């Protein structure tokens, strides 16, 4: 099971955090700090896996962003890399050539996509199509509501 997924920049700025197990706030901050220092301290071309406490840390750098996740010790590291890659693919498909700024400005979208792909630290949907379709459907639903809410405003309804 995946315990957390973090996205951070080269400067160590956190861009996204997803915790699949309930962890106290203080502990979260410590993990984030450890991860950023550990991962950023790695030399280029070193391998993508680390051990931290009893977790396996798998990370990969896409453009300026580091994608980093913590796994149970018995998990498959290569599979985790595939998960990270799949997430990047999904972001890419949604934003169209995704960049760090997309994720900064639309961070809630990034979360929504992640929530359709992973749930509770497990892969929820392995099909890219299915994930994108459910995201689209949710967005459509939202747009319809916004249109309606404008209408509501005009009518003066709360």
Please, which residue, 5 or 39, has the CB nearer to another protein? 5
Q: Which residues bind another protein (CB under 8 A)?
A: 1, 14-17, 19-20, 22-25, 29, 74, 76-79, 81-82, 104-105, 107-108, 111-112, 115, 119-120, 122-127, 130, 134, 137-138, 141-142, 145-146, 149, 153, 156, 158
Please, which residue, 64 or 149, has the CB nearer to another protein? 149
| Bridge partners (DSSP) listed for residue 7 | 16, 67
Cβ contact 134:142 at 8 Å: no
**Contacts (Cβ under 8 Å, ≥6 apart) of 108:** none
Angstrom distance (rounded) from CA 136 to CA 100: 21
Please, which residue, 63 or 144, has the CB nearer to another protein? 144
Q: What is the DSSP letter of 126?
A: -
CB of 91 vs another protein, minimal distance in Å:
16
Please, which residue, 32 or 40, has the CB nearer to another protein? 32
CB of 121 vs another protein, minimal distance in Å:
8
Angstrom distance (rounded) from CA 130 to CA 26: 36
Angstrom distance (rounded) from CA 129 to CA 124: 13
| Closest to 44 in 3D by CA, of 29, 57, 30, 61 | 61
CB of 32 vs another protein, minimal distance in Å:
8
CB of 114 vs another protein, minimal distance in Å:
9
| Bridge partners (DSSP) listed for residue 67 | 7, 60
Please, which residue, 96 or 120, has the CB nearer to another protein? 120
């Amino acid at each position: 099971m995946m315990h957390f997924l973090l996205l951070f920049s080269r400067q160590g700025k956190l861009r996204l955090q997803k915790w699949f197990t309930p962890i106290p706030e203080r502990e979260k901050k410590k993990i984030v700090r450890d991860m950023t220092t550990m991962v950023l301290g790695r030399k280029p071309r070193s391998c993508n896996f680390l051990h931290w406490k009893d977790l396996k840390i798998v990370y990969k750098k896409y453009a300026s962003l580091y994608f980093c996740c913590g796994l149970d010790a018995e998990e498959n590291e290569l599979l985790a890399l595939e998960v990270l890659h799949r997430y990047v693919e999904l972001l890419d498909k949604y934003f169209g050539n995704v960049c760090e700024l997309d994720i900064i400005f639309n961070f809630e979208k990034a979360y929504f996509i992640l929530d359709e792909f992973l749930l509770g630290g497990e892969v929820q949907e392995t099909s890219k199509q299915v994930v994108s379709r459910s995201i689209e459907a949710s967005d459509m639903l939202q747009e319809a509501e916004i249109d309606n809410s404008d209408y509501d405003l005009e009518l003066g309804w709360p």
